Structure 1
Amino acid sequence: MISVEELAREHPFMQGLPEEVSSLLAGCARNAVFRPDERLTRENEPASDFFLVRDGRVAVEIFVPRRGRVTIQTAEAGEVVGLSWMAGSPRWTFDSRATMATRTFAIDVACVYAKCEEDPAFGYALMKRFSHLLLGRLQATRLRLLDMYA
């Protein structure tokens, strides 16, 4: 039987990370399954996990007055949901919900923080990976804004 750690290391987010980094991060992972319309995160609730989507789809949403919930991003297999914790925020800055049956690896944020404190090289490798991910999201947002306002 394949362990959660072994499966987590196969996720695209883990690809290209040094083996010791992916092993440490995978050690913070557990399986998490969500039914359609089930919430992964709720705005202002504690940001205790982030999620590597294995299969399914997750809508990242914000509340807009007079419009209600608006989907600002959709994450599918191979993508990551839940980056609020990276900026030191102990709470989610958005909602996210499964739009279909979704399997993820939930990565325990406290575990990741502890490993970053113990091993600065782990933290540095992880921040480089997340920086690349955040840059991609910023570029995608810029293109969406151009579509809307250009």
Structure 2
Amino acid sequence: MNVMTMSSTRMLRALPDDHRARLLRVAREVTIPQDTRLFEEGGRANRFWVVRSGTVTLDMHVPGRRSPVIESIGFDELVGWSWLFPPYVWQLGAVATTPVRAYEFDATAVRSLCASDPRLGAAVAQWVGKVLAHRLQSARTRLLDLYAPYGSGGPR
């Protein structure tokens, strides 16, 4: 794997150099064919990805209906956060809607690295937390656009 190429992604640059280098040692480059399900809601969260190219959609199981798309994830974005929080169960499902090239990380190995180095653990938790905060704000805006009488009204 070319670590220099991997370290150039904006998402991974959010980590300090030494932490990023340690994290990249447990990553591998993967190609995911279109229409491949990466994980199912309720399944064991044992991996996560940073997208290099292509699109992954996050969906939610709705009994008796087709799973609605919650969000689309693309270049340089994190796919999967449930691996970081016990009980390590996916909260959503994910499918590659185009061919995807990504960096895949073994969650058990990353959690082990984080446990052995609290500074690395804090950096990874902050990285994932920022992604979650951004997605929560995006979901809030989408809900306001759908259900509020005057839409989101833009930033306050």
Which TM-score bucket, shorter chain as reference?
over 0.9
Report how far residue 135 of structure 1 moved: 0.7
Contact kept in structure 2, 1:56 and 1:101, CA below 8 Å: yes
Of 106, 109, 113, the residue aligned with 1:108 is: 106
**Secondary structure, in 3 states, of the residue corresponding to 2:60?**
strand
- Report the AA paired with residue 30 of structure 1: R
- State the percentage of identical aligned residues: 31
Q: How does 1:2-21 map to 2 (within 5 A)?
A: 3-21=1-19
In the alignment of these two chains, the number of paired residues is 148
Contact kept in structure 1, 2:14 and 2:127, CA below 8 Å: no
- Report the AA paired with residue 38 of structure 2: L
- TM-score, scaled relative to structure 2: 0.89
Are 1:97 and 2:88 counterparts? Answer: no
Aligned to 2:126: 128
Q: Structure 2 regions of 5+ residues with no counterpart?
A: 149-156
- Report the AA paired with residue 115 of structure 1: L
Structure index of larger Rg:
2
**Secondary structure, in 3 states, of the residue corresponding to 1:32?**
strand
Cα distance 1:94–1:115, how it changes in 2: closer, same or farther (>3 A)? same
Q: How does 1:131-150 map to 2 (within 5 A)?
A: 131-150=129-148
Point out 4+ residue stretches in structure 1 off by more than 2 angstroms.
3-8
Aligned-pair RMSD on alpha carbons? 1.3
- TM-score, scaled relative to structure 1: 0.92
The CA deviation string for residues 60-83 of structure 1, in whole angstroms up to 9 with x for no partner, is 011123432110000001111111
Q: Structure 1 regions of 5+ residues with no counterpart?
A: none
